[in-house]
């Protein structure tokens, strides 16, 4: 809120930091990352507009019972339904590890019907927490709901040598039909992309997939087990979603076959579930889908299936962003990003990304990233030179290659970059010892939970 911004500025003046400069900033997305960003940017005194395509805030946590029926595999980008949450989803991490640094995710005992006081609550509880966060910090007036960013590109410069600015084209979306109605164009000093990366399905390439005439879908389009009652279902991939969905289906399906990439990815919890459910069978990979309905596994066994559900993860996708090739996505690496936030190019700091890393403790981590962006934009923190950022990105790439980390895990910073964001931490710790501590705690927690 503006009063918070003022109190922050007076602290800075008392400690003789330079007067922060206010920028006109567009944040795309009002999920956890976008909400972290709007609060931090406003606190720093920026004028912020958030574009959110959905009818409400929350991002993934805004459960949507609809699915994209015409494209259940989500093969065509961009998908139209954003949230990939299934109805039964519960938090993987305990609620005390999942709150903003100064706004604990406490249980809402007594908040009436619909509250879920469990330590690992369901998705709706996270959505309610994010709504409470918006109310507590007066963020709602910055957010334009039902507004999708469809094109973001550099605006023509006003004068020779003037700073970069961004032309943002947004479209009004009709909530029920998802139809795009009217366009607006606006110019901003900076854009923060906070659109998440658990919506655009990543599909494997399996022999016979194209010809298979039975039901195939991605976990993005899975909501409840009901439609699979009495079926034989093959679930491909046994990460968190694959395991959850397979176990849930054992309650209604005739048989569930779970195909794991390797036995190393089978968690102790999954082994126990297999022992408990007679109709749950584990296989090593899928080799091909046959036209007669059989799914052939890598171990040579097969099952005639009604449905195949691909729980094979998601891809980064920014269909609205035009950077003339200066930011690219290759096998899930968004490139070249300095500390996973700023393009290592003249586009920094006017373009930034909040929420790119995986396996971090959200929203602490996003809050730290957002505060860094806010400070760099206001001029209270400085980025290294472009050459230094490029060198840093290259050094990280080489270190990862040497450690055998595949490109698709380029933004998995958990346990891979113990030195991560030294620059970010330095920027944040000025006047903010608590965020520094929280950031590190979040990071340590993430590392220790693997």
Ligand X SMILES: Cc1cc2nc3c(=O)[nH]c(=O)nc-3n(C[C@H](O)[C@H](O)[C@H](O)COP(=O)(O)OP(=O)(O)OC[C@H]3O[C@@H](n4cnc5c(N)ncnc54)[C@H](O)[C@@H]3O)c2cc1C
* Residues within the interface to ligand X (CB under 6 A): 28-34, 51-54, 59-61, 82, 84-85, 89, 91-93, 98, 148-149, 194-196, 198, 241, 320, 355, 362
Provide, rounded to whole angstroms, the least separation between the CB of residue 446 and ligand X. 10
Phi, psi dihedral angles at 214 (to 5 degrees): -90, -170
Q: What's the CA gap between 414 and 94, in Å, rounded?
A: 18
Contact status, residue 442 vs residue 361, Cβ threshold 8 Å: yes
Task: Label residue 355 left, alpha or beta by phi (over 0 means left) and psi (-120 to 50 means alpha).
Answer: left
- The CB-of-158 to ligand X minimum distance in angstroms stands at 26
The answer to whether 170 touches 144, Cβ cutoff 8 Å, is yes
Q: Where are the alpha helices (DSSP H) in 283-338?
A: none
User: How many Cβ atoms are within 10 Å of 374's Cβ, its own excluded?
Assistant: 29
Nearer to ligand X, 98 or 128 (CB): 98
When the beta carbons of 234 and 321 are compared against ligand X, the nearer one is: 321
How far apart are the C-alpha atoms of 261 and 436, rounded to whole Å? 38
Q: How far is the CB of 160 from ligand X (least distance, A)?
A: 32
Q: Are 354 and 38 in contact (CB under 8 A)?
A: no
The number of CA neighbours under 13 Å toward the Cβ of 263 is 2
Q: Minimum distance between the CB of residue 409 and ligand X, rounded to whole angstroms?
A: 16
- The residue among 9 and 60 lying less far from ligand X, judged by its C-beta, is 60
327: tokens are: 């930011």
Of 143 and 295, CB closest to ligand X? 143
- Closer by beta carbon to ligand X, 97 or else 430: 97
Q: Whose Cβ is closer to ligand X: residue 82's or residue 261's?
A: 82
Residue 434 C-beta: closest distance to ligand X, Å: 21
Contact between 86 and 62 under an 8 Å Cβ cutoff? The reply is no
Closest separation in Å from C-beta 147 to ligand X: 6
């Amino acid at each position: 809120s503006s009063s918070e911004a003022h109190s922050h500025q007076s602290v800075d003046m008392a400690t003789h930091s330079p007067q922060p400069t206010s920028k006109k900033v567009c944040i795309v997305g009002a999920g956890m990352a976008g909400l972290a960003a709007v609060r931090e940017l406003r606190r720093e005194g920026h004028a912020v507009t958030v574009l959110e395509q959905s009818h409400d805030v929350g991002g993934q946590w805004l459960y949507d019972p609809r699915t994209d029926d015409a494209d259940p595999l989500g093969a065509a980008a961009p998908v139209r339904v954003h949230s990939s949450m299934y109805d039964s989803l519960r938090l993987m991490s305990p609620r005390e590890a999942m709150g903003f640094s100064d706004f604990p995710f406490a249980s809402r005992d007594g908040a009436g019907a619909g509250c879920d006081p469990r330590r690992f609550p369901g998705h709706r509880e996270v959505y309610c927490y994010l709504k409470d966060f918006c109310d507590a910090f007066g963020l709602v007036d910055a957010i334009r709901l039902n507004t999708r960013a469809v094109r973001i590109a550099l605006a023509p410069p006003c004068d020779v040598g003037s700073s970069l600015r961004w032309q943002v084209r947004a479209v009004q979306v009709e909530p029920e039909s998802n139809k795009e109605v009217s366009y607006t164009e606006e110019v901003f000093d900076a854009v923060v992309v906070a659109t998440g990366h658990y919506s655009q399905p990543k599909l494997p390439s399996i022999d016979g997939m194209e010809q298979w005439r039975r039901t195939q879908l991605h976990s993005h389009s899975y909501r409840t087990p009901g439609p699979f009652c009495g079926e034989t279902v093959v679930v491909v991939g046994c990460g968190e979603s694959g395991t959850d969905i397979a176990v849930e289906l054992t309650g209604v399906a005739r048989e569930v076959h779970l195909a794991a990439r390797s036995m190393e990815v089978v968690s102790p919890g999954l082994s126990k579930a297999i022992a408990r459910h007679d109709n749950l069978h584990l296989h090593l990979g899928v080799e091909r889908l046959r036209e007669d309905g059989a799914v052939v596994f890598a171990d040579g066994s097969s099952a005639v299936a009604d449905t195949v559900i691909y729980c094979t993860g998601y891809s980064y996708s920014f269909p609205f962003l035009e950077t003339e090739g200066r930011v690219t996505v290759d096998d899930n690496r968004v490139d070249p990003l300095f500390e996973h936030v700023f393009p290592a190019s003249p586009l920094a700091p006017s373009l930034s990304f909040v929420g790119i890393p995986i396996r971090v403790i959200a929203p602490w981590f996003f809050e730290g990233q957002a505060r860094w962006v806010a400070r760099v934009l206001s001029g209270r923190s400085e980025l290294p030179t472009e050459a230094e950022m490029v060198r840093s990105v290259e050094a990280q790439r080489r270190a990862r290659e040497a450690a055998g980390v595949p490109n698709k895990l380029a933004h998995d910073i958990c346990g891979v970059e113990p030195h991560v964001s030294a620059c970010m931490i330095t920027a944040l710790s000025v006047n903010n010892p608590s965020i520094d501590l929280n950031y590190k705690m979040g990071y340590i927690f993430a590392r220790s939970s693997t």
